[in-house]
């Protein structure tokens, strides 16, 4: 099952992915379980990743993108040339009591200039 994104979400994710370099390459062996595991690991770490393919055929790249997104419950963001952009939201982490203690700190109080009496 693939995630569905709205046009606004897709636009935001494309902007986020623009400066990224591909982290996974799909070679001549195609989409193996090792490659899928590597994509899964990178999606868990980064949410949005770029994947480079060596396939010359546009239809083959579209099939790879669909297969990746279906297998990993991700969403296709973009397919330009041999670069595929995939998104999967990170799972919500449960907040622990220690995490709640790390709330943003208040800014330190400003010191006022004291007049010199002497």
DSSP string, 105-117: PPPPPPPPPPPP-
May I ask the CATH architecture of the domain 7-87? 2-Layer Sandwich (3.30)
Which residue carries 């994509």 as its tokens?
39
58-88 confidence digits (pLDDT tens): 999 999 999 999 999 999 999 999 999 999 9
pLDDT at 108 over 80: no
Residues 81 and 93: their CA atoms lie apart, in Å, by 35
Burial (Cβ within 10 Å: 0-12, 13-18, ≥19) of residue 84: buried
Domain boundaries, the chain: 7-87
pLDDT for res 91: 79
| Residue 23 tokens, joined | 């982290």
3-state secondary structure at position 16: helix
């Amino acid at each position: 099952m693939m995630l569905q994104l709205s046009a606004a979400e897709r636009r935001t994710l494309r902007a986020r992915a623009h400066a990224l370099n591909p982290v996974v390459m799909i070679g001549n062996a195609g989409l193996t379980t090792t490659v899928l595991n590597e994509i899964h690991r990178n999606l868990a770490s980064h949410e949005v990743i770029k994947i480079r393919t060596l396939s010359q055929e546009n239809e083959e790249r579209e099939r790879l993108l669909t297969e990746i997104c279906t297998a990993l419950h991700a969403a296709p963001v973009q397919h330009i040339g041999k670069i595929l952009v995939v998104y999967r939201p990170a799972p919500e982490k449960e907040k622990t009591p220690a995490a709640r203690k790390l709330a943003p700190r208040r800014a330190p109080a400003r010191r006022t200039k004291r007049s010199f009496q002497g």
